[in-house]
Homo-oligomer: A and B are copies of this chain.
Amino acid sequence: MRTLGATLGTVAPGSVEIALAPGPAVSQQHGFVHAGAVSAIADSAAGYAALSLMPPGAGVLTTEFKINLVAPAAGDRLVARGRVVKAGRTLTLAQAEVFSERDGAERLVALLTATLMTVQGRDGIGD
């Protein structure tokens, strides 16, 4: 996330916000934020939302995600809002919406659904 210049916003149990101020490093040749960067913040928002409901010491791994990109990711700021749809002992389903903000108005850019796996006591994966 540091490489992309993303920052963590509001965090509540089961719900997390991540923001990104678009710059040249994450943009493709036409000034839009690259699909890869959009999915990175969406996946992270979903993953942190899942982690926020897991037991202390647990780690989280994304096993799969799907993202639909419905509008070009331009604007002053992108914000990804992740929330848990169904928390399970092993697998958690979470969702994230990414919005672009311009002049105070929000527009849906992408919708992601992800399966996250709780990982316990594996070296190098915990937390």
Q: Which residues of A contact B (CB under 8 A)?
A: 3-4, 25-26, 29-31, 34-37, 39-41, 43-44, 61-71, 85-86, 88, 90-91, 93, 95, 108, 111, 113, 115, 124-125, 127
Chain B residues near A69: list those with CB within 8 A.
61-64
User: Which secondary structure dominates where chain A touches chain B?
Assistant: mixed
**With A31-B124, A111-B93 known to touch, is A70 a contact of B43 (CB < 8 Å)?**
no
With contacts A36-B36, A39-B36, A90-B90 taken as known, whether A70 is within 8 angstroms of B85 at the C-beta atoms is yes
CB distance A108 to B85 under 8 Å? yes
Give bound CA distance, A75 to B29, whole Å.
Answer: 30
Most buried by B among A64, A67, A70, A124: A64
> Is the Cβ of A88 less than 8 Å from the Cβ of B70?
yes
Chain B nearest Cβ from A100, distance in angstroms: 13
Contact A66-B63, Cβ < 8 Å, known A26-B3, A124-B30, A124-B31:
no
Give the docked Cα–Cα distance between A88 and B64 (Å): 14
